[in-house]
Amino acid sequence: MIKVTNPILNGFFPDPSICRVGEDFYIVNSSFSYFPGVPIWHSKDLAKWRQIGNVLDRNSQIPLTGCRHSQGIFAPTIRYHEGTYYMITTNVSGGGNFIVTATNPAGPWSEPYLLGEDAPGIDPSLFFDEDGTCYYIGTRPKPEGVRYNGDWEIYVQELDLTTMKLVGESHYVWKGALKDAIWPEGPHLYRKDGYYYIMNAEGGTGPNHAVTIARSKNIFGPYENNPNNPILTHRHLGKEYPIIYVGHGDLVDDLNGNWYMVMLASRRCEGYVGLGRETFLAKVVWEDGWPIVNPGIGKLEDVVELPFEGVSPEPVRYQTLMDSNKDMFDAVVLRNSDLDFFQRSKGELSLNVSPCTLKELKSPALLGLRQLEYKYEASMEFAFCPNEEEEAGFVILQSNEYYIQFCLKKVASKEVVQVVKCTASQEQTLAEKELELFDYTQKEKESVVRLKINAINQKATFTLCGSNKEIVILSHADIYEMSTEVAGGFVGNILGAYASSNGNKTENKMIIYDFSVKY
């Protein structure tokens, strides 16, 4: 038996979809405004997951110009049929619902097949019936008119795989389990023991999130509600329960007939969620034709025992942007980027200073990693000679309206290190240290600064490190605003390197010698 600790994918990896091909399992996640889009993972035991790429790794696949942090790519689904992998998703910032395909899940994936106005709404999924017919299932506003916010419905329609177009009639199939349910989202179709099953998320991807299910002998319905709905939720456990927002599940079986569900949930820390929505795992059994999630428990477990042989995985303890042999699948930038703003060589990383700022809905010079835990030490060593109004250094990024910068910059002809917090688009300088009398480290005749952030739960300490001393710039500062509860939206925090000239033309660069996060 292997034991795995939930979440199985730490940090901002929401809306998981899973499929099995032989003994191989694959998961994809939403990516919203970040590029490359739709991270894809591989495992043979549901416990040890390795990112093998990103499905949308070309600008032509994923137009994100001008999109907000919680727009862009929503709720992907991955499926496999007769030698081809299919990923279907929604780009709410342009293009709507589309499909890409690949013969190798690590890529390359095709250019998008746009489904256009024939496929309104969001959160599409695909189902391949026993005769090979492919069906599209998605959620849309009620065509006869929306009576209240979230008054949507689920529909099914055949998809022609030769033209990648929807054909035939669109069939309304389900509205969700509850009377006047809101946001019936993330629907998936399955077939088991003569029944078609629709599983969906409803209640909104927040405190009332839930997984519900219905079944029918006919793919187009009518569908009967499971009398035990919802089959999974944490909304009844109260605001203080440490795991919240549970929903948006997808089912998979293994070669031995065991069933599992992956779903999103969030870990609360001191009342706030800064990691975003993460991927969790639960066991499933079938009773009287209905799935039971974690039988006898009825909620997510901290540790899941799996019937596979091998060594249980260790949690991720270290992240870096510096390894030149690293595949860099986990590094992200904002929106569409030509990726020429940074260059990597052995032992260093250079970032071109961009006129763009974090507040703008553009592509700033930002290269980051998803924050994985609430306790970490992030360290960055870099050389930078700023011109007036230029800045470079660390950023804890929640959105373009909520972030914390720990940067070296020039103000009134003086080089300073500042801690700047932005909340609701308003920046406030929390601390500042002039560098004139500070003892730099010397590296190849350049002055090198090391900045360090030590975060514990919802507090962080910002330290400037020199060759023989450290100075705490700001101690135990509140960082709870970098959370879903304050900032809103669907994303988690990114820890990144950032450089901006604040609208001025420049050819300046920052040279990074170390960027690492220890958990």
SS (H, E, C) 287-326: ECCEEEECCCCCCCCCEEEECCCCCCCCCCCEEECCCCCC
| pLDDT over 90 (residue 346) | no
DSSP annotation of 163:
T
pLDDT at 323: 78
Contact 418, 407 (CB under 8 A): yes
Rounded to whole angstroms, the Cα distance separating 197 from 289 reads 10
**What's residue 239's pLDDT?**
85
Strand-pair partners of 129: none
According to the model, what pLDDT value does residue 325 have? Answer: 60
Task: Quote the percentage of the chain above a pLDDT of 70.
Answer: 97
Band of residue 448 on the pLDDT scale cut at 50, 70, 90: confident
Mean pLDDT, the chain, integer: 94
Q: Is the peptide bond before 230 cis (omega within 30 degrees of 0)?
A: yes
What per-residue confidence (pLDDT) applies to 503?
93
**What are the tokens at 190?**
């399955």
* Domains in the chain: ranges and CATH: 2-306 (2.115.10.20), 318-518 (2.60.120.200)
Instruction: Give burial (CB, 10 Å; 0-12/13-18/19+) of 461.
Output: middle
The pLDDT of residue 412: 86
Element (H, E) at 165: strand 165-174
Active site residue 185: yes
Query: Tens of pLDDT along 126-181?
Result: 999 999 999 999 999 999 999 999 999 999 999 999 999 999 999 999 999 998 99
**Alpha carbon distance, N-terminus to C-terminus of the chain:** 27
pLDDT of residue 446: 58
Active-site position among 45, 158, 185, 250? 185
- Summarize the confidence of residues 250-277 as an average pLDDT: 98
Query: What are the tokens at 32?
Result: 């919203």
Longest dimension (CA), the chain: 77
How many residues are there in the chain?
A: 519
Alpha helices in 125-204, H assignment, sequence order: none
Residue 197: CB atoms within 10 A of its CB come to 21
Between CA 198 and CA 413 the distance in angstroms is 63
CB 232 within 8 A of CB 249: yes
List, for residues 412-430, the tens digit of each pLDDT value.
888 899 999 999 999 999 9
Query: Mean pLDDT across the stretch 106-120?
Result: 97
Arithmetic mean of pLDDT, 347-366: 94
Residue from 15, 123, 381, 390 carrying the catalytic annotation? 15
The reply to whether omega before 76 is within 30° of 0 (cis) is no
Is 15 a catalytic site residue?
Answer: yes
Q: Is the peptide bond before 242 cis (omega within 30 degrees of 0)?
A: no
pLDDT 10s digits, 363-372: 999 999 999 9
* Amino acid 60: pLDDT: 95
Residue of 3 and 441 predicted with greater confidence = 3
pTM over the 0.85 mark: yes
Burial of residue 246 (number of CB atoms within 10 Å: 0-12, 13-18, 19+) = buried
Phi-psi region of 22 (alpha: psi -120 to 50; beta: other; left: phi over 0): left
Instruction: Place 445 in a pLDDT band, splitting at 50, 70 and 90.
Output: very low
Residue 384 · residue 442 · CB < 8 Å: no
